[in-house]
Amino acid sequence: LLQVSIRSPEDEEPLLKENPNRFVVFPLKYHDIWGFYKKAVASFWTVEEVDLGKDMADWEKMNADERFFISRVLAFFAASDGIVNENLVDRFSQEVQIPEARFFYGFQIAMENIHSEMYSKLIETYIRDEVERNTLFNAIFEFPCIAKKADWALKWIADQQASFAERVIAFAAVEGTVVDFLHLLIISRNIEIFCRYFLFWIICFDFLA
């Protein structure tokens, strides 16, 4: 009998090929990926560096609609970074075999944690009512619009049939479309409290431009 070997596209993907040298990064092979990793490391920051001392005075100046809008966006951000990390931990960092990319993923996981902590800290600072605050911390269960976005992203993490390329595109959409759009939407509001914060954020992450 004639046996035909059918190879999937992922069999040819260099990032996913079994690599016995994946535990040591030198000598470098993918210099472009390593460059992004080093730029990320150089842009490291912590929540403690962000001064929230003036924020409550600015928060009090907002009207009810602005507070509603900002609080929901922060709630989405706080949850979405955790979902991005779940994908990195459970899928991408285990599947990708080249150490330069694994280094980047490892640092990205740390930075996503800091982002999530920052957004949660902003909610904790601005929202004094405990019931409302807990509702925002549980946004993926409380708000249908946020739940739908979370479910869509989680679906791609759990999908065992989708190719690596398809899942990369899906999470590029999560990070590059949904999240970035909300960042720009906040900046466009020209609210002083967020102009300060996002100026800091943009300076730290201008390597992504």
What's the burial of 110, exposed, middle or buried (CB within 10 Å: 0-12/13-18/19+)? Answer: middle
SS3 (DSSP) at 21? coil
Q: Catalytic residue among 37, 119, 126, 197, which? A: 119
Closest Cα to residue 93, out of 107, 79, 80, 111?
107
Whether 119 is catalytic? yes
Closest Cα to residue 126, out of 193, 81, 199, 59?
59
> Half-sphere exposure (CA, 13 Å, Cβ side) for 121?
16
Query: How many Å apart are CA 201 and CA 50, to the nearest integer?
Result: 10
Token pair, residue 48, equals 């403690």
Q: What is the DSSP string of 151-169?
A: HHHHHHHH-SSS-HHHHHH
Query: How many Å apart are CA 133 and CA 135, to the nearest integer?
Result: 5
| Contact status, residue 70 vs residue 186, Cβ threshold 8 Å | yes
Query: How many Å apart are CA 126 and CA 204, to the nearest integer?
Result: 23
Catalytic residues: 119
